[in-house]
A and B are shown apart, each in its own frame.
Chain A
Amino acid sequence: MLELKGIGYTVREADGELGILNDISLTIDDHRLVVFTGPNGGGKTTLAKIIMGLVKPTSGRILWNGQDITDLGITERAKLGISYGFQQPPRFKGLTVRSLLTIASGDGKLSKDRCCQYLTKVGLCANDYLDREVDVSLSGGEVKRIEIASILARGSELMIFDEPEAGIDLWSFARLTETFEQIHAEGRATMIIISHQERIISLADEVVVVGDGEIRHRGSAQEILPKILADTTSICPVLTKGGVSK
């Protein structure tokens, strides 16, 4: 179980403090599939990074399976079963797809077959990719799918995916949603998926709408989807007021 208690995050700027997250409290039970959605810049990635330990919150506590992990580092959290697939995955000169998956799995002797299975789950043809370097020669969608495969290989108790659909073609997207459904059905992991996709939102047990650094709405996909659609017209006060930003 993951518990966020009054999470706040502010950064210092030249002209004072900038609030990014404000008093976020949320509990996610085991083996649930929760989707975080909401407007760009709303704070979803920041919240995910706070759970992984990539960003330190300025207030609040994080509990994982009852243990307070707020002060633990990234590596320690990874070892406790938390994983995060980056919105913009880094590239590595000299590290092959196979080595990345091997590192992720924590099994130094990860078989070629297993590597291939992970790649297939994200719609990549394994033989073309195993020995390629995860460097600038890969396309955006390819890197993104390899990133997701690394989370599958890790097989953590908590998997956080940050906009897994971004840049991914329709065929791979279909394969990917099947993969999420499968993990969910097997009850193997708790998943937090940050997404703007209706198809992914509809898989969720619960949808959390994050906007302006706060939880705007929570509920089932059926409840939330209509709300989001209704919101789209009123989301930008500047546009609706005058059409020109100041």
Chain B
Amino acid sequence: MMDTEVDRELLEKIADLIGKPVGAFNIRKDTGCDGRQSTDHIKITGKDDKPGIDIRVLPGTKGETCHIPVIITKPGISEMVYNDFYIGEDSDVDIVAGCGIHNCGSETSRHDGIHTFYVGKNSRVHYSEKHYGEGDGTGGRIMNPQTIVYLEEGASIQMDTTQIRGIDSTKRYTKIVCGPGAEAVITERLLTHGDQVAESDMEIVLDGNDSKGRVISRSVAQGSSSQIFRPLVVGNARCFGHVQCDSIIMGTATIRSVPEIAANSTEAQLIHEAAIGKIAGDQLLKLQTLGLTEEEAEDRILKGFLA
């Protein structure tokens, strides 16, 4: 496990993992299983009928973390993985996913994943997912993650997704269905450069009374990359939804931001905000007056924006 420098680096980048993880984990490497550990409260089992794993969190599990990173180190791999999460009632867990691709060949490496969460009553899940690509090959690095979440009454998920550099093409789909009193918060951070393309579709369905949904998306498009965002919040009950998309555009990049809110109940209260702009000139100037070069100032502003 984690036997090469490349493995170690990728794992650190995507899952902040240094050494063997504490608690439950499953490391998927080049389509195989490179290590797995269940705990008393979190059981991980492989699927028989298709690639992927089932993760069962027993009711009442509190304060545990589960790491499920995926790394691809060989060119030419293309995989479709199904991971299902069953989170028992009254739990509070952190799940750290993420995918790192190191491609130094000429063939494309591609990871498609479908993650489905069933979150039981009054449970809280913090799900973070980092995507990262590296390697000097000409082969493409592609990731298409789908995340589907069902929140039962009073359940909540905080989903943080980050993709900073390195992924040539990504098509992301996220759907969260909220039951009564459930709450979904998605924060998305994305930086594309070169001629990368990124597409993100999101749908938060507020089905139950007093459910809440919030999307906070911040992105930077550099070079000639392009990005499309389509966050949608649907209010079917007495609920509150807020979508906030903010993008910085640079070079010859293009960004489309198409937030949508849809109310099917007079009690739904939905808001969307979207903004695209370049780095404000006076921000750059101000940091230069504090002794930073123009490049340093730009880096600092982007770093803060995507933090």
Q: Which residues on A are within 8 Å of B, measured CB to CB?
A: 52, 54, 73-75, 78-79, 83-84, 86, 89-90, 92-96, 99, 103-104, 106, 150, 154
A78 touches B289 (CB 8 A): yes
Task: Looking at the assembled complex, report how far the CB atom of A156 sits from the nearest CB atom of chain B, in whole angstroms.
Answer: 9
- With contact pairs A90-B286, A92-B283, A94-B306 given, residues A106 and B291 touching in the complex (Cβ less than 8 Å): yes
Contacting residues, chain A, for B3 (C-beta < 8 A) = none
Q: Which residues of A contact B286 (CB under 8 A)?
A: 86, 89-90
- Contacts from B to A (Cβ < 8 Å): 218, 246, 280, 282-283, 285-294, 300-301, 303-307
A93 touches B300 (CB 8 A): no
- B294 and A75 within 8 A (CB): yes
Contacts of B218 in A (CB 8 A): 94
Determine whether the beta carbon of B289 is less than 8 Å from that of A52. Answer: yes
CA distance A79 to B289 in the complex (A): 9
Q: Is the CB of B289 within 8 A of A54?
A: yes
Shortest 5 CB-CB distances between A and B: which pairs? A94-B304, A90-B282, A95-B304, A74-B288, A78-B291
Complex Cα spacing A92 to B292, Å: 15
Once A and B bind, how many residue pairs between them come within 8 Å at the CB atom? 57
Taking a contact as CB atoms closer than 8 A, the residue among A52, A75, A92 that contacts B301 in the complex is: A92
Tell me, in angstroms, the Cα distance from A84 to B286 when the chains sit together: 9
B290 with A93: CB separation less than 8 A:
no
Among A73, A94, A96, A150, which residue has its beta carbon within 8 angstroms of that of B290?
A150
Q: Which residues of A contact B285 (CB under 8 A)?
A: 54, 74, 90
Closest to A101 in B: B290
Assess the B304–A75 pair: CB atoms within 8 A: no
A206 to B288 CA separation, bound complex (whole angstroms): 29
A103 contacts B282, C-beta separation under 8 Å: no
Determine whether the beta carbon of A95 is less than 8 Å from that of B291.
no
B289 lies within 8 A of A94 (CB): no
Closest Cβ neighbor of B281 among chain A residues: A90
Chain A nearest CB, measured from B278 CB (Å): 13
Min distance, Cβ A205 to any Cβ of chain B, angstroms: 24
**In the bound complex, do residue B246 and residue A75 qualify as a contact, i.e. CB atoms below 8 Å apart?**
no
Contact B305–A75 (Cβ < 8 Å): no
Q: Are the C-beta atoms of A99 and B292 separated by less than 8 Å? A: no
Decide yes or no: A103 and B300 within 8 Å by CB, A75-B294, A93-B305 being known contacts.
Answer: yes
Distance in Å: Cβ of A101 to nearest Cβ of chain B: 10
Additional pairs, 4, CB under 8 Å, beyond known A75-B291, A94-B218: A75-B292, A78-B289, A86-B282, A150-B290
Q: In the bound complex, how far is the Cα of B291 from the Cα of A104, in angstroms?
A: 8
Pick the residue among B292, B293, B301 that contacts A95 (CB under 8 A): B301
Q: Which residue of A lies closest to B303 (CB)?
A: A94
Contacts of B294 in A (CB 8 A): 75
**Distance in Å from the Cβ of B149 to the closest Cβ of chain A?**
27
Chain A residue at minimal CB-CB distance from B288: A74
Across the two chains, which residue of chain B brings its CB closest to A154? B290
